[in-house]
Amino acid sequence: MASTEFQQPPPAQQHDDIQDWTSRLKSAAAQPATITGPHKGTQKWQAAFFGCFNPIDTCFITCCCPCVTFGKTHHRLRKDPNLNGYSPINASCIGWWASSYFCLSWAPQILQRRDIQERNNLEGEFVTDCLKVWCCACCDLIQQEKEAEYQALHGNGHNNMENKQPELKNDMELPTGNITPAAA
């Protein structure tokens, strides 16, 4: 019988998340206009806000344990759009969960939403974003995850340049000359 062993991500990776969130929160506190100020995005979100029931697995996970979806989206945005090295329980997940204990989970969620908007030139306003996060946090998390996944698959955003899927090469060639159909 093979023993299965729980593998934690390397501590350096966790430290990067903590350092990243600390600097983002400090920056937002020092210059609130970067979050609350106008954002001139011109593109519409590909994922609908109330399209949160599709796919059902993301809906189920987010409704039962929203911190997992938050951490997954953070990993997709900041580390690898293909989720290489992703662990469901990561520093972002734990940070979101800890902030929700003090009713502050809206803060990192709004920061992440603004990050998605800026990376992909998406429309959005601070007041509307706050209402979305406060009124239906799960729908917002699902929309963020679906949008980040969509942008990663289509090569948009700043995080996708190095991790873009290689293009398929078509080595097949059509035969030249007369072609006759095979007899049945």
Residue type, 77: L
32-44 burial code (b ≥16 CB/10 A, e <16):
eeebbeebebeee
Which of 102, 24, 97, 43 is closest to 65 using CA atoms?
A: 97
Read off the pTM. 0.74
Task: Give the angle 17-93-161 at the CA atoms, nearest 5°.
Answer: 50
Per-residue pLDDT of the chain (184 residues; tens, 9 = 90+): 444 444 444 444 455 778 888 888 888 888 888 778 777 888 999 999 999 898 999 999 999 999 999 999 999 999 999 999 999 999 999 999 999 999 999 999 999 999 999 999 999 899 999 999 999 999 999 999 999 999 999 876 554 444 444 444 455 565 666 767 666 5
